Amino acid sequence: MTRVVLLGSPPGPIGSPPPGGQPVSPADITLASLPGAPSVYGRLLEQLASLDPEPITIARPADAPAFRRHSRRVVESPDVAGDLRALADAVEDSADNLLILPAQSLVHDELIYQINKAKRHALALIVREERHEDAPEEPPIEEAEPEIGQKVIEGLPQRTRAGRGRIISVGTAYHAVTRPNAALLGPLRLHQRHAAVLAEAARELADMAHLFGPEDDVVELLVLGLVRRGVSVGIRGRRDLFYRRVHDQREADEALAEMAGFDEDRARLNHAVKGADGFFTTFFVSTYSRFIARWAARRGLTPNQVTLISILLGLLSAGAFATGTRWGAIAGAVLIYFAFVFDCVDGQVARYARKFGVLGAWLDATFDRFKEYAVFVGLAVGATVSGQFGDGEGIWILALVALALQSVKHLLDFSFGAANRRRAPVPLPTLDLTVPEDRPLREALEERKARRNSGIRSLLKLWTKAGRFRPVHWARKMIVFPIGERFAAIAITAAFFDPRVTFLTLVIWGGVATIYTLTGRILRSLA
């Protein structure tokens, strides 16, 4: 479960009020072009029902009756300070993860799902400043002075400094921020471990409410409190999905028309494909396997059923290799390729249809190895049956070496992952909320960066930066010999050569991958 808190009071503008005057309650804004013509607030409640059937809504007393027509859990608050205190009361004892977002949000279901399922313990949706080509060059950020940002993006104050992967600093009408380059759109997802920190920061900010302006948003203030208390808040853009805050009927109509131009199902399908796949998987499987996944999901196939198809194809491939004939080798190569295709499809079906389970994850991880090792046996049996290599003893030795290398590599991967998850992260610097500018925070971050970029860590960082170049990126993906490359190597060498070439390829490439992986694990452990 997820505890959802909806904020019913939008911030006021930095400049003059928008055309149409004051914002209208989202419970009174109708989405006429959608089935049933729901209100903005009513639609949002329906979208969130699977996460929290009774979300808490914090609203002004004048708007509370409109919200209560849709929801029972409405908390009245007279001002921003009341909003912050009400939110602290709502989340401080939470044993669930938190999702906080404005009640006037018009958003795709898929975007809500992705934000809520993010691996980051804290994640905020942002929109970045667009830089024009003819814009004057700004001085280096080291020379920039903290400022109270006056720019606006989509009606929201541009008072956030976002770096690579996370929020660096947040400003308000009181807090100056060094070169703000983004605005917080609204949704904020938080792991339950940070609920107490959020509540404490919210109450402290409530006591400072007299320092803030009407344009300061509650979400903006919450992220300010989290960042200054050392919580790493990750960032995400909308990408190929839609999100917009709407304040009146005109804005809602325009937003709906814009939203209709987005293909949510295609975005959902694209996100079903893992972004960290290897070269072979990315360019020779995932280009079309996603469409097989959608076809399978729409016909009710479960991920486990697709996994069983993959296992069957893998065993048939091993049987074909075991015949020891040329046509058997070609058939085995084709079958192992499609065994891998369906191995990708099962995960894509799970992500597209949102059908996850412990059994499915166990089957997928276990039988990937089972198929691979069965194919090793099939190749060795085929080589022995064919009589090309005498009694086949040399082939069996190569097969055992290849199997041992893969087993060691898998052991390295799983054991390092488990150990790395237990390692406590290096804490971020903190800064008191009463400090009016972020200069001390940025200086502390620079000192932390300098300490962390010495010795082995500096070498690792250089190697990470090299990954920005596409050839290096794909070379790094391939050198570790992921399952896609392994199955491709087996299929190609078995179809065009003989099992000895296949096993030599697996041993040589697998040996290089094991050395590379072990070296990287040792360096990261020492860094």
Contact criterion met (CB below 8 Å) for 234 and 124: yes
**What pLDDT is stored for residue 93 in this prediction?**
87
Same structural domain for residues 45 and 69? yes
CA separation (Å) from 310 to 16, 371, 409, 452? Answer: 61, 9, 23, 44
Let me know if residue 331 belongs to a domain: yes
CA separation (Å) from 44 to 1, 49, 247, 469? Answer: 17, 9, 15, 41
**What pLDDT is stored for residue 300 in this prediction?**
92
Could you report the per-residue pLDDT of 267-311, keeping only the tens digit for each? 999 999 987 888 999 999 999 999 999 999 999 999 999 999 999
Let me know if residue 354 belongs to a domain: yes
What's the average model confidence in pLDDT over 507-513?
Answer: 93
Q: Tokens 């962390």 appear where?
A: 452
What is the domain range of residue 114?
2-133+184-266
Which residues, including other chains, have CB under 8 Å from residue 116's CB and lie 6 or more apart?
2, 51, 97, 99, 189
CA dihedral 342, 346, 349, 354 (to 10 degrees): -170
For residue 133, pLDDT over 90 is answered with: no
Same structural domain for residues 42 and 115? yes
Same structural domain for residues 481 and 412? yes
Domain's final residue, options 238, 266, 294: 266
Reply yes or no on whether 368 is catalytic.
yes
Question: If you average pLDDT over each of 128-142, 422-436, 503-517, which comes out highest?
Answer: 503-517
Same structural domain for residues 224 and 363? no
Let me know if residue 143 belongs to a domain: no
What's the average model confidence in pLDDT over 116-141?
Answer: 81
Let me know if residue 314 belongs to a domain: yes
**What pLDDT is stored for residue 96 in this prediction?**
93
Secondary structure class of 94 (helix, strand, coil): coil
Could you report the per-residue pLDDT of 57-80, keeping only the tens digit for each? 999 999 999 999 998 899 999 999
The model scores a pTM over 0.85: yes
Other Cβ atoms less than 10 A from the Cβ of 324: the count is 20
- 33: DSSP letter: T
Rg value, the chain, Cα? 28
Same structural domain for residues 244 and 375? no
Same structural domain for residues 486 and 341? yes
Could you report the per-residue pLDDT of 235-279, keeping only the tens digit for each? 999 989 999 999 989 999 999 999 999 999 999 999 999 878 889
Same structural domain for residues 282 and 261? no
Same structural domain for residues 236 and 318? no
**Cα 37 to Cα 367: distance, rounded to the nearest angstrom:** 48
What total number of domains does the chain contain? 2
Same structural domain for residues 383 and 334? yes
Same structural domain for residues 253 and 355? no
- 517: DSSP letter: H
Same structural domain for residues 106 and 239? yes
Contact criterion met (CB below 8 Å) for 404 and 511: no
Q: Which two tokens stand for residue 28?
A: 């009174």
Let me know if residue 366 belongs to a domain: yes
CATH number of the domain encompassing residue 37: 3.90.550.10
Q: Which of 113, 249, 226 is nearest to 169 (CA)?
A: 226
**Cα 84 to Cα 65: distance, rounded to the nearest angstrom:** 21
Which residues, including other chains, have CB under 8 Å from residue 17's CB and lie 6 or more apart?
none
Same structural domain for residues 494 and 355? yes
**Cβ-count burial of 120 within 10 angstroms (0-12 exposed, 13-18 middle, 19+ buried)?**
middle
Q: Which two tokens stand for residue 337?
A: 């390729």
Query: Which residues sit opposite 124 in a β-bridge?
Result: 188, 235
248, 364, 368, 438: the catalytic one is: 368
